[in-house]
Chain A
């Protein structure tokens, strides 16, 4: 009970040490956080993956898929290639439907329309084809999905036809088996993620993005509740390795058991399997090398997750509580041993047989993890402290600012003087600034401002209009705030603006914690950028260096820095002028893409930056330009 009732709390020796040296402690915490994060990749922090759900194990029996019964893979593939070349830019719907029907699947097609949100009267239509294999051993209560994005030969992405041929082969084999207790849906989608999203929305009868943007249409046939889904992208007959992709929309991850299952089955079928295109297992590597490989794998996972954009069609399933992964088979270049398509088929067979045996939906194992390797994981209990250290630094800063301020005024130790404390906090101005910055954030939300920008700059392309709109607005705010603060609020001169400072720090801290509960990577990377300037800021008399630092991390500037780095890594040979135009172009495209993602899929990245980062940034910017008295002057009063 001492914690509750000891009156010396807040005035004790330990507290005063913390308060006096809080900046040093904050920086220490920042460094500790980064160090701890890097340590996570080490074997002593990550643990070996394991199966938590025993019901998944039966699929590890010998695979039976073969080329001997019915038409072989080669036949399917040849037929498919001929058909695909006939339609240069379109999907051969009628062929797919007839093919599914020949395989004796219940076949349906599904139409959808996208009303492009940033340009009026622009519509795109698409059509998915899917076939359902009804389970002979139960009513249609549950189902599993095998999906493939169809890519016409003119597509910029690598083709998926071999995967489609494997699907036919698998469907033909599955049709003959008697052990299915869950329906199996074979789904061929069009227009990459858009088709997938439309199909999922139609299947569940909801709308995830802005209403009226994606018209998902209706499905004429359904199976049971989807338990799991596997998205297949195989680019060639001769496969070098299978890469297993996890990152979903808004950084959601599938259950670790499903990921383990995929890796384990690949192992069993001796298919080379990777995560983020890096092999697992430390055989043949020394310890230092293993650590570096693990670290880079983990970092690349963090980068992928932080964007909040799914790295495959599987990512859209997660929101509906469906566990899903993508198996991407890369082409084997040159000679040597390759993985045959049939081996991959057997991996999928094993996965489906395992999933078929599930009695409850995935609930064991982990939903929050980082993977430094194919067979190791870092659980939430280990990586969360990294973020807690960063956010803790913000809280410590807020706490010590507050204590310092109140103890300064308590020196007089009188109740009547307490009134003067509150007077110096200027609630009115502070609430006006806080409210104003958040209203600004609300206005800039993707379903409001972009439509006006594109309407205003009608003649230029969308991404330029967006970049100009947001850029100009940010520029105006950056320039006008200091003048506004200095001129209009001169009568409100006080020694410091503790309340505003504390509110900013707390909002940033709590906001980051909430973001990282959903998407750790995004939360952590944002924290890495924004915690440092927040620590260096004080509630009065900020140095010019701090102001400059804040200017560098303005959300728009951050976007440009990130694009600049990525562009440099992608095209190191560009001339400086070309390079700069490329960076600007890419930033604009990134914004347009993010806006559309928000409106169609409900991606939060844009909303977070506009509703959390921008208001906090603007409040900090105001804080630094609010008029203050010199401290000496105040003391003489």
Chain B
């Protein structure tokens, strides 16, 4: 999955431009074709794609209730924020079904381009930083330097992975609201590399309002927006954090004024935190909470939610403080694995961020196994689902086995990526040959 054409000369740089347009064209074509065929609706019904939080069916239901002046938060059906409710109500009132699909596709393209420029700026920054600090590193470092052509190629990879990845394609044609979420997340990442605090805070709040897990991204935002002066750092951290909190509060108050009551808080955040809907999905919550004794529920809900939301934020921020984008990628990946209603749209988003860190690929070792497992799980999940639900011959354990394998694979990928970063750091300082007393030494992570 990490391999593609690699040009050498300037002529081939132009070729990259053409490739970019070609990829986008194919991506759009595939999306339009699939959403106009019957395939779209059957994809939208898949549990891997649509969860109670992001399914378009529920949005439609909620909007029509809202238009009939019935509070959509009274039942157990609608779990978007009131802001989204108003937005979708407006969207569906002015546009017909086909144009709504086009809006989704347009959002996806926008996301791809935001990611493209994010990657471009990030890689350029890396190269500038590298020329500054060349002298500190070991003499052998030449081999580990990031070549200049990465700043041209990586963005194209990022864009093409986002446009052609089946996960994001399915998520888009199923019209999940994850598409909008991904757009805001991409904007947030863009603000990080651009060091624009206000845009970052705004997009972060918009992205985390419906799910709240992604609020953890405030840590990389704080780091990247901090001033270089070490005295002012703490103050800058605080300003970013407070801005985010203030914007969140404002948005929540706007939500309140829309609905005139606070019940939506329970329908949105209570629903996410208490894991009330145990319909199977690619996450780990549903099986665990169906099997568990009811009186342990509170304990395990706390443990699981802490694991999904804030457990990794502080330690990873300390370790990866020099690379906020990698921090953001790993936090996004971890939430996509551990959150209560994950969908493959989330997985697709962080997978498309991986080519940004292409300079680490050289140190990754599990790439082959991980990609095999990704493909295998993607094919197996519908197979065992069919056996379980339609043929009635298999049972929930089969499906859970696949989702467990999927989660494990993702954790392998994240660990491999983070470890590659550490190995690269080490190699830059101490050289590639790890010899102690004439024997080859082993790197251990303790």
- Interface of A toward B, CB cutoff 8 Å: 1, 4-10, 252-253, 318-319, 321, 363, 367-368, 395, 398-399, 402-403, 413-416, 418-423, 425, 427-428, 499, 506, 510-511, 513-514, 517-518
Contacts of B416 in A (CB 8 A): 4
Chain A neighbourhood of B411, CB < 8 A = 4
Question: Would you list which residues of chain B between 353 and 399 have a CB under 8 Å from chain A?
Answer: 359, 361-362, 365-366, 368-369, 372, 375-376, 379-380, 383-384, 386-387, 390-395
- By the criterion CB–CB under 8 Å, are B380 and A514 in contact? yes
Q: Which residues of chain B in 390-446 are interfacial with respect to chain A, using CB atoms and an 8 Å cutoff?
A: 390-395, 411-412, 415-416, 419, 423, 432, 442-445
CB proximity of B405 to chain A, nearest CB, Å: 12
Whether, in the assembled complex, B292 has its beta carbon less than 8 Å from a beta carbon of chain A, the answer is no
B11 within 8 A of partner (CB): no
Instruction: Check A6–B442 contact: CB distance below 8 A.
Output: yes
* Contact across chains for B383 and A517 when beta carbons are under 8 A apart: yes
- CA–CA, A148 and B368, complex, Å: 54
Q: Is the CB of B143 within 8 A of A414?
A: yes
Contact A418 B362 (CB under 8 A): yes
Residues of the B chain whose Cβ atoms lie less than 8 Å from the Cβ of A427: 3-5
A423 touches B444 (CB 8 A): no
Q: Which B116-174 residues have C-beta < 8 A from chain A?
A: 143-147, 149
Is residue B6 contacting chain A, with contact meaning CB distance below 8 A?
A: yes
Inter-chain CA distance A4–B412, complex, in Å, is 7
The answer on a CB contact under 8 Å between A419 and B432 is: no
Residues of B within 8 A of A422 (CB): 3-6
Q: Which of A4, A420, A425 contacts B415 (CB 8 A)?
A: A4
A413 touches B379 (CB 8 A): no
Measured in the bound complex, the distance between the Cα atoms of B366 and A10 in whole Å is: 8
Q: Are A367 and B380 closer than 8 Å at their CB atoms?
A: no
In the assembled complex, how far is the CB of residue B313 from the closest CB belonging to chain A, in whole angstroms?
A: 21
A419 & B145 in contact (Cβ 8 Å cutoff): no
- How far is the CB of A305 from the nearest CB of chain B, in Å? 13
Given A1-B445, A252-B393, A319-B391, A510:B376 Cβ within 8 A: yes
Give the complex CA separation of A375 and B281 in angstroms: 39
Check if A499 sits within 8 Å of B365, measured CB to CB.
no
Q: Mark B3-27, 1 if CB is under 8 A from A, else 0.
A: 1111010000000000000000000
Bound CA span A10–B442, Å:
13
State in angstroms the CA–CA spacing of A427 and B2 once bound together.
11
Instruction: Report whether B5 and A413 are in contact in the complex, using a CB–CB cutoff of 8 Å.
Output: no
User: How many Å from the CB of A84 to the closest CB on chain B?
Assistant: 37
CA distance A321 to B361 in the complex (A): 48
CB contacts (< 8 Å) of B444 on chain A: these are 5-6
Q: Is A399's CB under 8 angstroms from B3's CB?
A: no
Nearest-neighbor residue (CB-CB) of A416 within chain B:
B147
* Cβ contacts A to B, 25 pairs, < 8 Å: A1-B445, A4-B412, A4-B416, A4-B419, A5-B415, A5-B419, A5-B445, A6-B444, A7-B442, A7-B443, A8-B442, A10-B366, A318-B393, A368-B393, A398-B372, A402-B368, A415-B143, A415-B144, A415-B145, A415-B147, A415-B362, A422-B4, A423-B5, A427-B3, A510-B375
Residues of A close to B6: CB separation below 8 A: 419-420, 422-423
Which residues on B sit within 8 Å (CB–CB) of A423? 5-6
Determine if A367 and B442 form an interchain contact, defined as CB atoms under 8 angstroms apart: no
For A427, the closest partner residue in chain B by CB is B4
- Assess whether A318 is in contact with B368, with CB atoms less than 8 Å apart: no
Which A residues are CB-close (under 8 A) to B8? 419
- Report the bound CA distance from A425 to B362 in whole Å: 17
Is A517 in contact with B384, judged by CB distance below 8 angstroms? yes
Residues of B within 8 A of A (CB): 3-6, 8, 143-147, 149, 359, 361-362, 365-366, 368-369, 372, 375-376, 379-380, 383-384, 386-387, 390-395, 411-412, 415-416, 419, 423, 432, 442-445
Contacts of B383 in A (CB 8 A): 514, 517-518
CB neighbours of A514 from chain B (8 A): 379-380, 383
A499 and B146 CA atoms in complex are apart in Å by 25
Determine the chain B residues whose CB is within 8 A of the CB of A318 once the complex forms: 391, 393
The residues of A that contact B391 with a CB separation of less than 8 Å are: 252, 318-319, 321, 518
Residues in A whose Cβ lies below 8 Å from that of B147: 415-416, 419
**Majority secondary structure of chain A interface residues (helix, strand, loop or mixed):** helix
Contact A518 B412 (CB under 8 A): no
Contacting pair B5 A517 (CB below 8 A): no
Considering only CB atoms, which chain B residue lies closest to A503 in the complex?
B375
For B393, list chain A residues within 8 Å (CB). Answer: 252-253, 318, 367-368
> A7 vs B384: C-alpha distance in the bound complex, in angstroms?
34
Alpha-carbon separation in the docked complex, A4 to B5 (Å): 29
B149 proximity list for chain A (CB < 8 A): 419
Residues of B within 8 Å of A319, CB to CB, are 390-391
Are A428's CB and B380's CB within 8 A?
A: no
Closest B residue to A366 using CB positions? B393
Smallest distance from the beta carbon of A184 to chain B beta carbons, Å? 22
Considering only CB atoms, which chain A residue lies closest to B415 in the complex? Answer: A4
Quick check: A510 and B379 within 8 Å, CB to CB?
A: yes
Nearest-CB residue, chain B, relative to A11: B365
Q: How far is the CA of A395 from the CA of B373 in the complex (A)?
A: 11
A204 to B307, CA, bound (A): 45
Separation of A78 and B444 alpha carbons in the complex (Å):
86
Q: How far is the CB of B300 from chain A (nearest CB, A)?
A: 24
Which B residue sits closest to A368, measured CB to CB?
B393
The residue among A7, A9, A367, A425 with the most chain B CB atoms within 10 A of its own CB is: A7
A425 touches B3 (CB 8 A): yes
Contacts of A414 in B (CB 8 A): 143
CB neighbours (8 Å) of A8 from chain B are: 442
**Chain A hits for B387, CB < 8 A:** 517-518
A561 to B393, CA, bound (A): 33
Question: A307 vs B143: C-alpha distance in the bound complex, in angstroms?
Answer: 57
* B386 (CB) vs chain A CBs: closest residue: A518
Which A residues are CB-close (under 8 A) to B372?
395, 398, 506
A7 touches B423 (CB 8 A): yes
Complex: A499 Cα to B371 Cα, angstroms: 13
Measured between beta carbons, the chain A residues less than 8 angstroms from B359 are 415
**Least CB distance, A462 to chain B, in whole angstroms:** 29
> Which of A9, A395, A402, A510 contacts B365 (CB under 8 A)?
A9
- Expressed in whole angstroms, the Cα–Cα distance for A416 and B149 within the complex equals 10
Smallest Cβ distance from B401 to chain A, in angstroms? 11
A601 to chain B, nearest CB (A): 14
- Who on chain A is nearest to B147 by CB? A416
Q: A244 CB to closest chain B CB, in angstroms?
A: 19
In the complex formed, the residue of A with least CB distance to B6 is: A419
Taking CB atoms, residues of chain B closer than 8 Å to A395 are: 372
Bound form: Cα–Cα A428–B7 in Å = 13
Q: How many angstroms from the CA of A398 to the CA of B144 in the assembled complex?
A: 28
Identity of the chain A residue whose Cβ is nearest the Cβ of B142 in the assembled complex: A414
Q: Which of B144, B379, B386, B394 touches A367 (beta carbons < 8 Å)?
A: B394
How many Å lie between the Cα of A425 and that of B375 in the bound state?
A: 19
Contact with A321, one of B380, B392, B412 (Cβ below 8 angstroms): B392
In the complex, A399 Cα to B376 Cα: how many Å?
14
Q: Nearest Cβ in chain B — how far from A269, in angstroms?
A: 29
Rounded to whole angstroms, the CA-CA distance of A1 and B419 in the bound complex is: 12
Q: Select from chain A the residue with minimum beta-carbon distance to B440.
A: A8
Q: Considering the chains assembled together, what is the distance between the CA atoms of A176 and B97 in angstroms? A: 60
Q: How far is the CB of B372 from chain A (nearest CB, A)?
A: 6
Query: What is the CA–CA distance of A510 and B366 in the complex, to the nearest angstrom?
Result: 19
Contacts of A398 in B (CB 8 A): 372
Measured in the bound complex, the distance between the Cα atoms of B366 and A517 in whole Å is: 27
Give 15 A-B pairs besides A319-B391, A415-B144, A506-B372 with Cβ atoms closer than 8 angstroms: A4-B412, A4-B416, A6-B442, A7-B442, A9-B365, A395-B372, A418-B362, A422-B4, A422-B5, A427-B4, A506-B375, A510-B376, A510-B380, A511-B379, A518-B383
- Which chain B residue shows the least CB distance to A430? B3
CA distance A421 to B8 in the complex (A): 13
Which chain A residues border B394 with CB–CB below 8 Å? 367-368, 517
A514 to B377, CA, bound (A): 11
Report the separation of the CA atoms of residues A172 and B146 in the bound assembly, to the nearest whole angstrom. 87
A499 touches B3 (CB 8 A): yes
Complex CA gap A506/B419 in Å reads 27
Q: Taking the nearest CB of chain B, how far is it from the CB of A67, in angstroms?
A: 39
Measured between beta carbons, the chain B residues less than 8 angstroms from A368 are 393-394
